[in-house]
Amino acid sequence: NAGVTQTPKFRILKIGQSMTLQCTQDMNHNYMYWYRQDPGMGLKLIYYSVGAGITDKGEVPNGYNVSRSTTEDFPLRLELAAPSQTSVYFCASSYCPRELCEQFFGPGTRLTVL
Amino acid sequence: TQLLEQSPQFLSIQEGENLTVYCNSSSVFSSLQWYRQEPGEGPVLLVTVVTGGEVKKLKRLTFQFGDARKDSSLHITAAQPGDTGLYLCALMNTGNQFYFGTGTSLTVIP
């Protein structure tokens, strides 16, 4: 199993450009998450999904959109990139037996907006 | 307002020393997780604690959940360079959303 994969690994955007960060998991997990991590900080939840067709906002959803058409894929869309969105983005999926969820993280996408 | 506060923010110690890092909240939480993150990688789950007063051991790492379930600690015995990384605590709410602390960046010097 590949686990959680993310593409691209690195990207530089100009202000106002748009892009989609891809995330795929092959573990058949229902729950998927997008986080951003700023330097020296913990992770902030952007959006999450409890299953295909269901998404909801996390702590910091402004400027982002998501979709979940399949169990495997959970892309994150930036429509109008801003310097404040410079960060490292992590996708995760989780397995929740008896409400004890274990999250599995992808390797991250480092995004710079200039 | 940060839901979870971690201390210290940075820690640099010599190989072989012991250390303790802390995770505190003003709220009671049902369970708490500890993760380790190495540079350039995503966090990896170390342990989940669910019962007040619970102690779990993972080799040289000892995790404790406070009796009131508002705080937790991670103690490392005889630290090694391989322990270097960012240690994050996280709590999960009833909607399976996770909230992470700010992290403790540990450097173990050989």
Tell me if residue A97 falls in helix, strand or coil. Answer: helix
Per-run averaged pLDDT (10 residues), chain A, 114 residues? 92 96 95 92 92 93 96 96 96 81 92 96
State which H helix or E strand residue A35 sits in.
strand A31-37
Query: For chain B, what is the mean pLDDT?
Result: 91
Distance CA A104, CA A93 (A): 5
Q: Residue A99's pLDDT is what?
A: 62
Cβ contacts (< 8 Å) between B6 and chain A: which residues?
Answer: 42
B22 touches chain A (CB under 8 A): no
Could you tell me the pLDDT band of residue B31, with boundaries at 50, 70 and 90?
confident
Q: Which residue of B has its CA nearest to A104?
A: B44
CA nearest neighbour of B88 among A58, A2, A44: A44
Cβ contacts (< 8 Å) between B102 and chain A: which residues?
Answer: 40-42
Of B102 and B12, the structure prediction assigns the larger pLDDT to B12
B99 touches chain A (CB under 8 A): yes
CA nearest neighbour of A92 among B94, B29, B98, B85: B98
Which of B98, B104, B105 is the best mutation test for A, with the most CBs of A within 10 A? Answer: B98
Q: Residue B92's pLDDT is what?
A: 80
Count of A–B CB contacts within 8 Å?
Answer: 61
Mean pLDDT of B38-59: 91
Contact at CB, B48 and A33, closer than 8 angstroms: no
Q: Residue A95's pLDDT is what?
A: 80
Of B70 and B30, the structure prediction assigns the larger pLDDT to B70
